[in-house]
Structure 1
Amino acid sequence: MDTSSPSIFVNGESLPLYIGKRVRAVVQVIQSDGADTTAKSTDEHQLIIKGLPVIPPLKFVEVIGIADGNQSVHAQTWTNFGDAFGTTF
């Protein structure tokens, strides 16, 4: 585990407190066009994620990046959890 550049977990409400800092969030994709992705945070806020590849709607993604606005994150890395995040089969 790389601990040289830690990131804090955020949701839509807490994101503005960390502008310019490295953050981590789990979001559900609403719309993705390859430049900006509109997503819903765990507390139902709408966020813009910059730098993600095109991801189909309703997929869950963990994003690590820099908070660059009150409701936006510039993604550095991401993990696609698919559409079954948090469910059991």
Structure 2
Amino acid sequence: MTVPSIDLSAPVPRVNFQLMSKYEGKRVRLVGKVEEISGTTMKVKTSDDAMVDVLLTGAAPTDAFVEIDGTVEGPNVIREESNVGFGNDFDMKNYNQVCTLMNDKYQSLFL
């Protein structure tokens, strides 16, 4: 069995809305609840209860919760590179705590 390699040279931080501003112009991962899709823009509610516009580059997700991999383009805008459905039941409060810990006290373990 072959194990796929993971590129550790450029780790991608997991963020909530509050943390997005630290990474403007950089690639991030954000989990949100899909609130609305209109054309190529998707509005998601973040784990810290803010709204972010996601500029879609591919197919819109069909799940209620989605992880966006993309670049922060502004205070509340991410240009999507890809997305992964997280189903219709996801604990956003736990995810928010993980984001906070990964970008603060335990950052050295992840980045």
Q: Percent identity?
A: 28
TM-score normalised to structure 1 length: 0.84
Structure 2's unaligned 5+ residue stretches are 1-5, 92-111
TM-score normalised to structure 2 length: 0.68
Q: Deviation above 2 Å: which 4+ runs of structure 1?
A: 1-5, 52-56
Secondary structure, counterpart of 1:75 in structure 2 = strand
- AA at the equivalent of 1:28: K
> What do you get for the CA RMSD once the two structures are aligned?
1.7
> Larger helix proportion, structure 1 or 2?
2
- AA at the equivalent of 2:74: G
> Larger strand proportion, structure 1 or 2?
1
Alignment of 1:1-89 (within 5 A): 1-51=6-56, 53-56=59-62, 59-86=64-91
Q: How many residues align?
A: 85
Structure 1's unaligned 5+ residue stretches are none
Larger radius of gyration: 2
Question: CA separation in 1, counterparts of 2:77 and 2:13?
Answer: 15
Question: CA separation in 2, counterparts of 1:4 and 1:48?
Answer: 28
